[in-house]
Amino acid sequence: MATLTDPDKESFKLSMLLYDTRYRSMTIQVIALIGFVSIVFWLISNTITNLNNLGKPVEFGFLFESSSYDINQRLVEYNSRDSHLRASFVGVLNTLVVAFLGCITATIIGVFVGVARLSKNWLVARIMTVYVEAFRNVPVLLWIVLAMAILIEGLPAPKAFRGENATASLEVFDSVALTNRGVYVPEPLFSNGIGDVALFGQSSLRFSVSLDLILIVAVLIASFSVSGWIKRRANRIQDSTGDRPTTWYLRLGVTILPVALVLWMLGFHLGYPELKGFNFKGGTHLRNSLIALWLALSLYTAAFIAEIVRGGILAISRGQTEAAASLGLRPNRIMNLVVLPQALRVIIPPLISNYLNLTKNSSLAIAVGYMDVTGTLGGITLNQTGRELECILLLMLVYLTISLSISGVMNWYNNSVKLVER
């Protein structure tokens, strides 16, 4: 009886790499990769050779030389005798501050404007439309310069606060000074503080972390965790009995009382700005350059976020809104509980791009004198040392790291809110 057997497998031949469809695509990819790597290697090698011939070998020892320049707005200790690496570190922190504050503010404004653009009130919708079209169609650099000009020209000088016939006064219960040199706000102080912990010793990347702040944050996390447990317990009781116990006072108590107790034990109080001499002393000084950059980037990016939010809301089926309304929910509850949670899945992906754009646009800070990493490493340090290639490469690495970090966090959040298919 005849039997069927598998045909003998054809032995591998080099010609298969070109003529066999099983291997051809892989061959093309390998060749393209080799070509790309070769071009990159040639460019790098040629650049290094030319720089060596010019007496400028590629090296990063300049980072440990004295910077010899000051930075007005900083989060950590710094003076002109510190190294260029220290100055760059201060610039990176300033960049992170602007990016963090800008992303939060732009999100809040963008969500509000995006929802308001869909308002049934004709005047509100038109005003929001004018805002969006005005900010997203004018270069952000012009908005930054305009904001700086308004702050300098529109706010009074410190001397206007002096004397019995002063033409300016402190705002917000006499605690905030708005001047053309910046904004002075109360500073949190602790009379019974437990001190700071220094990290990285005496290196250029050294900084101190307040133990008081760590304690407060830890208590807050614990308080919110207990509050969440109380809420989940109430949900279980409601699911089993149909009656939901009253828990708002318990959740409010476990959230506020522990933090208030810790603040009292640490001797928390505010240090208010006071006019001494020609300027204000005390409190926290927010320079106009920081405020102008923060405000302009937030308003500019918020215009794009508003359109993303509007598109995300319009992507939700109208039947969802009608079904929620038929259950007796009010419009604001429908928006908060039904529409926005579903729209997040549409909003978040393009929102990531706008966060990245805001972070990269912060490099325009040099236009108003705010010393971010572009102003330090890519500005004064580059000009003083003449290390153009090294500074630009490090600057690209910094922005790449920040952007990838933001993208990673937002992608994680996007995965946490997406629909789970069963």
Give residue limits of the domains in the chain.
82-162+285-422
Section 102-106 average pLDDT: 95
Q: Which residue has the higher pLDDT, 327 or 112?
A: 112
Q: For the domain 82-162+285-422, what is the CATH superfamily, name and number?
A: MetI-like (1.10.3720.10)
- Structure confidence at residue 216 (pLDDT): 93
- Structure confidence at residue 54 (pLDDT): 80
Contact 140, 364 (CB under 8 A): yes
Angle subtended at Cα 399 by Cα 398 and Cα 401, rounded to the nearest 5 degrees: 65
- Structure confidence at residue 230 (pLDDT): 92
Of the candidates 67, 58, 60, 63, the one whose C-alpha atom is nearest the C-alpha of residue 85 is: 63
Q: Helix 122-136 crosses helix 288-314 at what angle (to 10 degrees)?
A: 120
Section 134-151 average pLDDT: 93
- Model confidence at 5, in pLDDT bands (50, 70, 90)? low
- Structure confidence at residue 72 (pLDDT): 84
Residue burial 275-302, b: 16+ Cβ < 10 Å; e: rest: beeebbebbebebbbbbbbbbbbbbbbb
H-state helical runs in 77-139: 84-116, 122-136
Q: Which residue has the higher pLDDT, 214 or 325?
A: 214
9-18, 44-53, 75-84, 136-145: the lowest-pLDDT one: 9-18
3-state secondary structure 180-217: CCEEEECEEEECCCCCEEEECCCCCCCEEEEHHHHHHH
Report the predicted TM-score, pTM, of the whole model to 2 decimal places: 0.85
Residue 382 has pLDDT above 80, yes or no: yes
- Model confidence at 8, in pLDDT bands (50, 70, 90)? low
- Model confidence at 325, in pLDDT bands (50, 70, 90)? confident
Contact 18, 24 (CB under 8 A): yes
- Structure confidence at residue 6 (pLDDT): 54
Name the strand (E) or helix (H) holding 271: strand 268-271
Q: Taking all residues of the chain, what is their mean pLDDT, rounded to a whole number?
A: 88
Residue 138 has pLDDT above 80, yes or no: yes
- What confidence tens digit (pLDDT) does each residue in 151-183 have? 999 999 888 888 778 888 888 888 898 998 889
Angle subtended at Cα 188 by Cα 184 and Cα 189, rounded to the nearest 5 degrees: 125
Percent of the chain with pLDDT over 70: 95
- Structure confidence at residue 109 (pLDDT): 95
Q: Which residue has the higher pLDDT, 297 or 322?
A: 297
- Structure confidence at residue 331 (pLDDT): 80
Cα distance between residue 403 and residue 51, in whole Å = 30
Residue 385 has pLDDT above 70, yes or no: yes
- What confidence tens digit (pLDDT) does each residue in 300-314 have? 999 999 999 999 888
244 secondary structure, DSSP code: P
